[in-house]
Amino acid sequence: MAPNLQTEAEGFAKSYATLFSSPACSTSDGVAGIAEDVGRRYRPGVTIFTNGKITRFESQQEAARLIEQEMRSNITSGMGTHLELIAIEKIEVYSPGLALCWLRWAFHPQAGSEFGGKSWEFTNIYGYRGATNDAEAGFEFVIRDNEINAFAEATGRSFLAE
């Protein structure tokens, strides 16, 4: 089962990443739909770990609301929300139902913004859980210290979800 879970997690990660390359990511009108699609990739009860802060969302809708809030904040600031998956650094099958996924991202600020042309990279770790009787497959946790720290280092600003 482990090799299939690894392949499944890799395909899921790639599918997840395509959501952030949509032109709708950087428009006020499009972010609600994108955030909803992203939120559906998280399992109910998803937990986000950020520099010692723990945030848990009981539903996919709760997760989608935070994602939309973060995206809108980046659009309002003129930065945009263009993320690009640079690499799947590693997928490690931990158990028959769980794989840890190290995803390397690049954030590309919107052209014309204060940070236009000054992309930065970071790696987040995602816990991918295969489908169970009570929930579809998806990410059940994310460790995003590097994302928040890279944002602060590149922009000198604090991140909304911090």
Helical packing angle, 31-39 and 2-19, nearest 10°: 170
Q: What is the pLDDT of residue 81?
A: 82
Q: Which of 49, 37, 159, 40 is nearest to 100 (CA)?
A: 49
Domain boundaries, the chain: 2-155
How is domain 2-155 classified at the architecture level of CATH?
Roll (3.10)
Tokens read off for 140 = 């059940």
Per-residue pLDDT of the chain (162 residues; tens, 9 = 90+): 445 999 999 999 999 999 988 777 777 888 889 999 999 999 999 999 999 999 999 999 999 999 999 889 888 888 888 899 999 999 999 999 999 999 999 999 888 888 888 899 999 999 999 999 999 999 999 999 999 999 999 988 876 544
